Amino acid sequence: MSDLQSLPEKTVERLSEYRRTLLRCQKQGITHIFSHVLAGIHGLTAVQVRRDLMLIGFSSDTKKGYDVSVLADFISDILDAPQPMNIGVIGMGHLGQAITKYFNSKGLNLRIVAAFDVDAAKVGHTIDEIPCYAMEEFEQRVAELDINIVILSCPTRVAGEALIPIVNAGIKGVLNFTSQPLNFPLGIVVENYDITTLLEKVAYFVKEQERTDI
Amino acid sequence: MSDLQSLPEKTVERLSEYRRTLLRCQKQGITHIFSHVLAGIHGLTAVQVRRDLMLIGFSSDTKKGYDVSVLADFISDILDAPQPMNIGVIGMGHLGQAITKYFNSKGLNLRIVAAFDVDAAKVGHTIDEIPCYAMEEFEQRVAELDINIVILSCPTRVAGEALIPIVNAGIKGVLNFTSQPLNFPLGIVVENYDITTLLEKVAYFVKEQERTDI
């Protein structure tokens, strides 16, 4: 594998989405799925689905469509690390709790194993079965629990304070939900996903739709 | 304006982010900002920033950089509808509450004005100053409150049940945070943002980074 290029971001996103649909199919006892059906579920063309699967080297040539289990496993081999990755959540407010509850119920290859907060009412307690530690313990707990990735769901005004602890602890990936864009040194993967941006984008295209409808 | 094409999605996202940074500058009393400074904050090149602003027809030629207030207003004219848009939240669990609290504290052109839930303990009450209604009242309340956009933050397993009410109520835009991709009829703007996908993407690139480091 090590001679392969990394996949484009959008392809990775779609593969993650396909897999989730395939896992739902498995649960329902569905064994095969056509590319145009998988495409339809995700609002894509069959050509796009086939192109994505070609890019990861998956070929299937049955009249029944793709074998659901085989394709799900194939995508998992591409997307997942050999060992489950451990995740820490910085900021255990509503958003942090929503994410934690959502994730750990899903049996993914990713596990939230610890939360960090500055709120004395939360520190030392377990929230949704996840221990909550003080930010001062961050570096130590990351090492103990072998945490690779953090989710930043603290208030925006304190997001910057997490930057140095994250770097010092050797974190490899950050999913930043605050409004503060954070620039980490090269070698740390960062995705900034501000919910405001997502909503402003929807609002813009709604406005444009109305403009062009007139 | 009506002869202009809609902007590319990524440009809209970046404009939303630039504006947020500009508004923060204003609060700090900063009156001017260079393109390379704005770029640096967002992890972009100055060329990218200048290209985005050229695309919306903004030109600035001072030695002090862009005028923060003028540029913020210019972007607002592009992104925002003339009237604030009203938003409803379907599913007032942790995620719905996190989003509501976050948004309505920000003085945006977007306002969450109502929540909808099936939980009898929430219906009829006010959560973070937002009235929470039963899903049965959806169509009526959307009309009364002039809601254009909904945020779908309910559990994934019931996401599909919201589809027909959303269409029937004449909603124009949907920001879907569930794991269920939803295909709406043409004319409804949908953004599917599954948090699982975002995190799986970070995990994939962390894995790839480690692979290529070896």
B105 and B184 both lie in a single domain: yes
The C-alpha atoms of residue A188 and residue A166 are separated, in whole angstroms, by 10
| Domain membership flag for residue A113 | yes
Q: Domain check: are B101 and B149 in the same one?
A: yes
* Interchain proximity A99–B195, CB inside 8 Å: yes
Kindly list the residues from chain A whose CB atom is less than 8 angstroms away from the CB atom of residue B212: 2, 6
Q: Are residues A118 and A58 in the same domain?
A: no
Same domain, B59 and B114: no
| Per-residue pLDDT tens digits for B65-81 | 999 999 999 999 999 98
pLDDT tens digits, A119-141: 999 999 998 889 999 999 999 99
Domain-embedded: residue A2: no
Last residue of a domain, one of B52, B78, B104: B78
Whether residue B214 is predicted with pLDDT greater than 70 in this model: the reply is no
* Same domain assignment for residues A106 and A135: yes
Alpha-carbon span A59 to A62, nearest angstrom: 10
Domain membership of residue A66 (yes or no) is yes
Closest by Cα among B184, B193, B157, B162 to B90: B162
* CATH code where residue B74 lies: 1.10.10.10
A148 shares its domain with A183: yes
Global pTM value? 0.84
Q: Is residue A211 part of a domain?
A: no
Ramachandran region of residue A140, left (φ > 0), alpha (ψ -120 to 50) or beta? alpha
Taking the Cβ of residue B51 and every Cβ of chain A, the question of whether any pair is shorter than 8 Å is answered with no
Nearest-CA distance from A177 to chain B in Å?
10
List of chain A residues with pLDDT < 50: 1-3
**Which residues of chain A lie closer than 8 angstroms to B95, CB-CB?**
94-95, 98-99, 102
The answer to whether the CB atoms of A102 and B79 lie below 8 A apart is no
Q: What is the pLDDT, as a whole number, of residue B196?
A: 84
Q: Is residue B71 located within the same domain as residue B172?
A: no
Distance from CA of A63 to the nearest CA of B (A): 26
Label each residue of chain A as H, E or C. CCCCCCCCHHHHHHHHHHHHHHHHHHHCCCCEECHHHHHHHCCCCHHHHHHHHHHCCCCCCCCCCEEHHHHHHHHHHHHCCCCCEEEEEECCCHHHHHHHHHHHCCCCCEEEEEEEECCCCCCCCEECCEEEEEHHHHHHHHHHHCEEEEEECCCHHHHHHHHHHHHHCCCCEEEECCCCCCCCCCCCEEEECCHHHHHHHHHHHHHHHHHHHC
Residues B188 and B140 in one domain: yes
Q: What is the rounded average pLDDT for all residues in chain B?
A: 89
Are B163 and B101 members of one domain? yes
Domain range for B50 is 9-78
State whether A123 and A53 are in the same domain.
no
CB distance A79–B212 less than 8 Å? no
Domain end residue (candidates: B39, B63, B78): B78
Q: What angle do CA A20, A189, B214 make, to 5 degrees?
A: 100
- Domain's final residue, options A78, A110, A130: A78
Look at residue A212 and tell me if it is in a domain.
no
Give the gap in angstroms from C-alpha B39 to the nearest C-alpha of chain A.
11
Number of domains present in the structure of chain A: 2
- A95 falls within a domain: yes
Residue A208 lies in a domain: no
Decide if A205 is inside a domain.
no
Residue A168 has a pLDDT of 94
Pair (B150, B70) in one structural domain: no
Mean pLDDT of B126-137: 93
Any residues with CB less than 8 A from the CB of A27 and at least 6 apart, and which? none
Window 79-138 of B, Cβ < 8 Å to A: 79-81, 85, 87, 93-95, 97-99, 101-103, 106, 108-110
Say yes or no to pLDDT of B15 above 90: yes
